[in-house]
A and B are shown apart, each in its own frame.
Chain A
Amino acid sequence: VPPPETPPRPAPGTRLYLTPAAHLLPEDGTCLMEAVSAAAGLSWSDNPTCTHPLLAHLARLVNDASTEAGRQVLLELIPGLANATSDAPARASASLASACTDYALRLRPTQLLIHLHHVTMTQLRREQRLPARGTPPWVSAARQRVFLHGPGARAVEQSVRACTLLPPAERDGALLTLLRLGLAAVTGDAAGVPLPGHRNRVLGGLRSDAQADTTNIVSALPAGDARAQAWWRWLTV
């Protein structure tokens, strides 16, 4: 199949079309987090400030690892991702990373995943305790930063890797579940995520039809921000 001469663009009035990889400009295409930055009315970026950085990392990896069809299903998560910060970002990082490894271990356990799960759970327990007396704030901040860019990021990457090794028919579903779990871990809405066939917990919340249209997304954007609406119109028309 010859490659398209221009990036796929959504026809007026239809859904936005997500593409893999990062894009310097909206004209080159749009990945999930770039669509989130536009939806939130922020400057064009695949790491917008409206989303927890580790969740953004997970969303970028899921976007790139999904199939063409599976990637479009991720559109339903844009409103949630556009407002996915946490009052306790360090705890959210640990919670997200451990949720990812926990899920990935059920799909494809490896020694590395087991190790990373142990590390993330240790970090989560540490974050759930009260900070040790006398620990300077910069030490805590540095520790959190190191976890975010190091073991946290590695845990998320290996979890995505476990999903990509599944048969094609199951891959997109697993990646979507992983991203939903990550979102729930950051926003604290852990009751909303279904884990098909892997846990007894029956969880609802986020819509499963995954066919959100542009109108629904615009109505769910944060506080009807005019700049966000303008961005969105530009992207979808």
Chain B
Amino acid sequence: MEQVVVIVVVLVALTFDYTNGFHDAANAIATSVSTRALTPRVALVMAAVMNFAGAFLGQAVANTVSDIIVPGGSATHGLVVVLAGLLGAITWNVITWAYGLPSSSSHALIGGLVGAAIASGSLVHWSVVLGKVVIPMVLSPVVGFGLAFAMMLGVMWAFRSASPSRTNRGFRLAQTVSAAAMALGHGLQDAQKTMGVIFLALLTGGFVNSGDSLPIWVIVASASAISLGTYSGGWRIMRTLGRRIIHLDPPRGFAAESVAASVLYTTAFVFQAPISTTHTITSAVMGVGATKRFSAVRWGVARSILIAWVLTLPAAAAVAAAAYQILKLIFRLP
């Protein structure tokens, strides 16, 4: 029984990973495409490859995600809790997509796990939720905005007497690197969230021990799912069906991507914190825009981030709790 449920959890987690890549593909490629640093096809292939590579760079975020809850009861019950958390996150993502509400896949995943845990009476490590999820979640866009603003000021000062056309050419080239770094950061952050959930399922089912490192098949599967999702989602964005691309000049594109990538690396390697890649790059873009005129800050986007903060965690938790009650009936759990 446990084996069947584990397989279901892994498949659902990989589906979540795929949709995460599909949804967030624009983060890695939008600025490079808008500055014409890269053609859409090259940008997409590069983003998919770097997403894949990024997933192999660390396990700290995965450890944090798998440490958020400790599912109680039998192995099957524990796996149902993890499955409910995942279903809650996916359902909330679909609802927000269908009704155009601001959301974040990362926050939905954490909210889903916490909601399912509360509904099942499992243990929630609130110190981890607060210290490694909520605080970084709030701080990362603020830091992204501030650092991007500061870096862009530095770039403007450093190149104040340089020829604009040569500067643009140079930064367009540099943007190839910064876009790759951003895609690597996306893989590093978001693929690890799925790895964390799969590891939690394996741990709950008794297939691994808490001190074990992540099985290589988990890393490869998660990396493949997110890079496939990125590649598929990118085309949708190129066909103007997704989020609108903001046109930036090459220095701004470079500054925004570099800062966002730095924030993603720092939170993953130093603080082991899962943060939203969408919020980070969006706030960095607003930060570089603000250097020229403060009116360039899109406060509507800032409001969307704020709503996502307030709405996603409790809503995904509520949906996951409902999913747990339904799954409990299906699996005839006590």
Contacts and interface: CB of A to CB of B under 8 A. Distances in A.
Interface of A: 3, 5-7, 19-25, 27-29, 43-44, 46-47, 60-61, 64-65, 146, 148-151, 153-154, 157, 160-161, 164
Interface of B: 34, 36, 98-101, 164-165, 168-169, 172, 239-241, 244-249, 252, 285, 289, 292-293, 295-296, 298, 300
A1 B88 CA distance: 48
B292 A25 contact: yes
B295 A21 contact: no
B295 A28 contact: no
B99 A150 contact: yes
B34 A21 contact: yes
Contacts, number: 71
A23 B240 contact: no
Contacts of A5: 164-165, 168-169
Contacts of A27: 292
Nearest to B172: A3
Contacts of A151: 98
Given A24-B296, A44-B295, A150-B98, A161 B244 contact: no
B247 A19 contact: yes
B100 A21 contact: no
Contacts of B285: 24
Given A25-B292, A146-B99, A161 B241 contact: yes
B34 A25 contact: no
A65 B34 CA distance: 14
Contacts of A160: 240-241
Contacts of A44: 295-296
B172 to A, nearest CB: 8
A146 B99 CA distance: 6
Given A22-B245, A161-B241, A43 B295 contact: yes
Q: Closest 9 CB pairs between A and B?
A: A149-B100, A150-B99, A24-B289, A3-B36, A24-B296, A21-B247, A64-B240, A5-B165, A21-B245
B237 to A, nearest CB: 11
A42 to B, nearest CB: 11
B20 to A, nearest CB: 20
A60 B245 CA distance: 11
Nearest to B296: A24
